[in-house]
């Protein structure tokens, strides 16, 4: 094992690069100084919205931030959040920060948020009630359901009530006995869409391999619908 130092570079040969964890830094509007602590990985405490950072020591430096709670990262000209939109962290979310200049920063959340989607209806005929077997899907990993959205995909205004059934693969297929929605079923009433994070009584935990299906309890007017479960993956 050797460390070789030349004029323009340091080469590690057979030597692990063990980085240090720095002291925790509290979230703040523009004053969370992640650059002065002695470590590249830093816990961010608190829940104060962040809109910027103090000046970096030089262009090209980076830090890995682990958030202890929900912090809104507000996208801006010099605080560029990946995707060009605000991002709200969850506990244990990791965000990489790169200083493009000493005052312009790029933030790259290691995104754990995603969706499970179900699309059904032929766009011509009104959707019928009952289970939509063609939209059965299997969870690729574990996670937690945090909300849902229903959209009319033919732009028709109508009403619909949906039930979601989920079971482990060994018990495939899921049935009504495997409902996860309790009394808070996803629904639209005389509109083209609806969304909610109120999941009273839901079974929100997802295990890798779980199989989902959708049952239409009632429907008027809609010919094509998209149901999307918002998920935080583990």
User: 47-58 pLDDT, tens per residue?
Assistant: 999 999 999 999
Confidence band for 15, pLDDT divided at 50, 70 and 90: confident
Q: Percentage of residues in the chain with pLDDT exceeding 70?
A: 98
This prediction has a pTM of 0.68
Residues 6+ away with beta carbon under 8 Å from 138: 169, 209, 210, 211, 212
For 71-95, write each residue's pLDDT tens digit. 999 999 999 999 898 988 888 899 9
Q: Percentage of residues in the chain with pLDDT exceeding 90?
A: 82
Q: For all residues of the chain together, what is the average pLDDT?
A: 94
| Burial class of residue 215 (count of CB atoms within 10 Å of its CB; 0-12, 13-18, 19+) | buried
pLDDT given at position 105: 98
Enumerate the domain spans of the chain: 2-109, 113-233
pLDDT given at position 1: 55
Query: From CA 154, how far away is CA 226, in angstroms rounded?
Result: 10
- Position with higher pLDDT, 188 vs 17: 188
Query: From CA 36, how far away is CA 57, in angstroms rounded?
Result: 9
What average pLDDT score do residues 116-133 get? Answer: 97
pLDDT given at position 91: 86
Question: What region, left, alpha or beta, does residue 131 occupy, with left being phi > 0 and alpha being psi -120 to 50 degrees?
Answer: beta
C-beta of residue 18 within 8 angstroms of C-beta of residue 40: no
Count the helices and strands in the chain (H runs, E runs).
0, 20
Which range, of 56-70, 100-114, 127-141, 152-166, averages the lowest pLDDT?
A: 100-114
pLDDT given at position 4: 72
- Position with higher pLDDT, 192 vs 38: 192
Class of domain 113-233: mainly beta
Residues 6+ away with beta carbon under 8 Å from 60: 98, 99
What average pLDDT score do residues 145-159 get? Answer: 96
What average pLDDT score do residues 107-111 get? Answer: 88
């Amino acid at each position: 094992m050797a460390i070789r130092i030349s004029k323009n570079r340091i080469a590690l040969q057979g030597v692990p690069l063990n980085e240090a964890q720095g002291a925790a830094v509290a979230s703040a509007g523009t004053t969370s100084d992640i650059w002065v602590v002695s470590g590249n990985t830093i816990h961010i405490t608190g829940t104060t919205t962040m809109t910027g950072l103090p000046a970096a020591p030089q262009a090209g430096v980076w830090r890995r931030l682990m958030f202890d709670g929900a912090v809104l990262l507000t996208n801006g000209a010099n605080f560029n959040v990946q995707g060009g939109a605000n991002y709200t962290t969850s506990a244990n979310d990791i965000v990489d920060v790169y200083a493009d200049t000493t005052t312009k920063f790029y933030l790259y959340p290691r995104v754990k948020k995603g969706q499970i989607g179900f699309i059904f209806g032929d766009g011509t005929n009104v959707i019928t009630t009952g289970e939509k077997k063609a939209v059965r899907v299997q969870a690729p990993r574990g996670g937690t359901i945090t909300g849902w959205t229903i959209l009319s995909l033919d732009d028709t205004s109508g009403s619909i009530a949906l039930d979601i059934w989920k079971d482990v693969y060994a018990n495939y297929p899921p049935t009504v006995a495997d409902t996860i929605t309790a009394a808070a079923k996803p629904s639209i009433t005389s509109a083209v869409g609806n969304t909610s994070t109120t999941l009273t009584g839901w079974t929100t935990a997802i295990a890798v391999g779980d199989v989902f299906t959708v049952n239409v309890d009632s429907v008027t007017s809609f010919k094509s619908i998209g149901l999307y479960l918002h998920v935080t993956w583990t």
